[in-house]
Homo-oligomer: A and B are copies of this chain.
Amino acid sequence: MKTPEAIAAIPMRNVGPIKIAGDVLDEELYVPLATLETPLWPSVRRGALLSRAAAGIQVVVVDACMTRSVVLEGPDAKTILQVVGALESHREALEQVVAGTSRFARLRDWHVQMVGNLLYLRFEMQTGDAAGHNMVTKAADALIAWLLQRYPALAYVSISANFCTDKKVSAVNGILGRGHSVIAELLVSEDLCQKHLRTTPEKIVQLHIKKNLIGTVLAGGLRSANAHFANILLAFYLATGQDAANIVEGSQGMVHAELRESDLYFSVTLPNIIVGTVGSGKQWPFVQENLKALGCVEPREPGQNAKRLAAIIAATVLCGELSLLAAQTNPGELVDSHLRLERIDNAQGQPHG
């Protein structure tokens, strides 16, 4: 058996246009979604239609950084606490170590956890328009070398300590931040809710509480209150060349919905959108094409293209999430539409692969 070179030809469509407003961007645009779960397309499309019928999806980007944690060990807690205490006075040196590893990596801060004689350091960096996985690893490598040289009592344990944390469930990423933290909001009148979603604001709010909040708590969920953020993130990440396994932490986001008089306020909060517009995975033609169509490879300040991309993703997640929740408020609708749409889309959507 030989090792063929081949591709997995994941069906992809541009869906929209979604109307997005806010400081980061203010325009209507199509979003590329690559997925084998083809009912996702009409689901996001319905949300996009609603975004245009309403006043657009407001998006704010709260923060952005990338992190890597390392673990070192010393003889005892006292020794490592002394190192921890001394680090602040070496902030400038540490910043230089990081800056020396890349044109774009900048050390912003670090967080410490101690467990007995083990020292966990979580470095928080800015990485320009790259998602930054490799950039922070390279910087962490240099930081370890610096630390081990300066503090001979310390010994190497691991360049990655799972306190980062990458592609794994955690609370730390939501609390301390990793990737872009983005909020998208939409106000929907009762009429538009009826017309486009075939439901009421009240029903959406109640479903969100009983499913996304209470149901998730019952499931032993962690920092998560949504129906299917992961689906939308995966499709978008694949289409734009991201490290798509980061949907694990991406899935840990929250819907917040409430009645405003008789209207619906609907929001999605995504603390961990880990994306870039340059770097690993961005060289493929379909990726470049999509990033270009999204306006994310323009000459801008470092980080601004990635920020724009993250904002668009959050708006897309809102479209897909609201649409699915609306469907689930009506008994039978999910099953009917899923079966129907899979037939239709599969017929239409046969990719060229």
The 0/1 profile, CB within 8 Å of B marked 1, for residues 225-257 of chain A is: 111101101100011011111011001101010
The distance in angstroms between the C-alpha atoms of A207 and B118, with both chains bound, is: 12
* A93 in contact (CB, < 8 A): no
**Size bracket of the A interface:** 35 or more
Among B8, B243, B328, point to the contact of A238 (Cβ < 8 A): B8
CB pair A69 B215 closer than 8 Å: yes
Stretch at the interface among A73-81, A190-198, A296-304: A73-81
Cross-chain contact B183 with A114 (CB below 8 angstroms): yes
Q: Contacts A78-B22, A185-B77, A217-B224; is A335 near B6 (CB within 8 Å)?
A: no
Main secondary structure of the interface of A (DSSP, over half): mixed
Q: Are A342 and B170 in contact, with the CB atoms below 8 A?
A: no
With a CB–CB cut-off of 8 A, which chain B residues contact A352? 5-7
For A238, the closest partner residue in chain B by CB is: B8
Kindly state the separation between the CA atoms of A2 and B37 in the bound complex, as whole angstroms: 21
Give the CA-CA distance A238 to B239 in the complex, in Å. 13
Given contacts A77-B183, A286-B6, contact A117 B172 (CB under 8 A): no
* Copies of this protein in the complex: 4
Q: What's the minimum C-beta distance from A254 to chain B, rounded to whole angstroms?
A: 5
Beyond A8-B239, A10-B238, whether A334 also contacts B116 by CB under 8 A is no
Residues of B within 8 A of A238 (CB): 8, 10, 238
Chain B residue nearest to A166 (CB atoms) is B228
Please give me the residue from chain B that is nearest to A253 by CB atom.
B115
Could you tell me if A77 and B267 are in contact, using CB atoms closer than 8 angstroms?
yes
A158 adjacent to chain B (CB < 8 Å) = yes
A269 contacts the other chain (CB 8 A) = yes
Check B171–A115 contact: CB distance below 8 A: no
Closest to A181 in B: B114
**Per-position 1/0 for A159-172, Cβ under 8 A of B:** 11111111111111
Q: List chain B residues, Cβ under 8 A from A60.
A: 77-78, 81
- Does A283 touch B at the CB level, under 8 Å? yes
- Within 8 Å of chain B (Cβ to Cβ): is A152? no
A156 interfacial by beta-carbon distance below 8 Å? yes
A247 to B329, CA, bound (A): 27
Of A23, A144, A156, which is in contact with the most chain B CB atoms at under 10 Å from its CB?
A156
Selected contact of A115 from candidates B3, B13, B115, B218, CB within 8 Å = B218
Q: Is the CB of A172 within 8 A of B248?
A: no
CB-contact partner of A328 in B23, B158, B245, B286, under 8 A: B158
Q: Please state if A222 and B222 are interface contacts (CB–CB under 8 Å).
A: yes
**Chain B residues closer than 8 Å to A62, beta-carbon distance:** 77, 81, 84, 114
Q: Which residue of B lies closest to A82 (CB)?
A: B60
**What sequence of 0s and 1s flags, for each residue 103-127 of chain A, a beta carbon within 8 Å of any chain B beta carbon?**
0000000010111111010000000
From A30, A214, A221, residue with most partner B Cβ within 10 Å? A214
Across chains A and B, which 7 residue pairs bring their CB atoms closest together, nearest first?
A: A171-B220, A162-B215, A116-B267, A171-B171, A8-B34, A116-B256, A36-B281
Known: A7-B10, A209-B209. 9 other contacts (CB 8 A): A7-B286, A8-B9, A36-B242, A36-B243, A116-B267, A162-B227, A169-B248, A171-B220, A174-B220
A-B contact pairs, 7 of them (CB 8 A): A3-B14, A6-B351, A7-B353, A8-B34, A36-B280, A214-B254, A285-B353
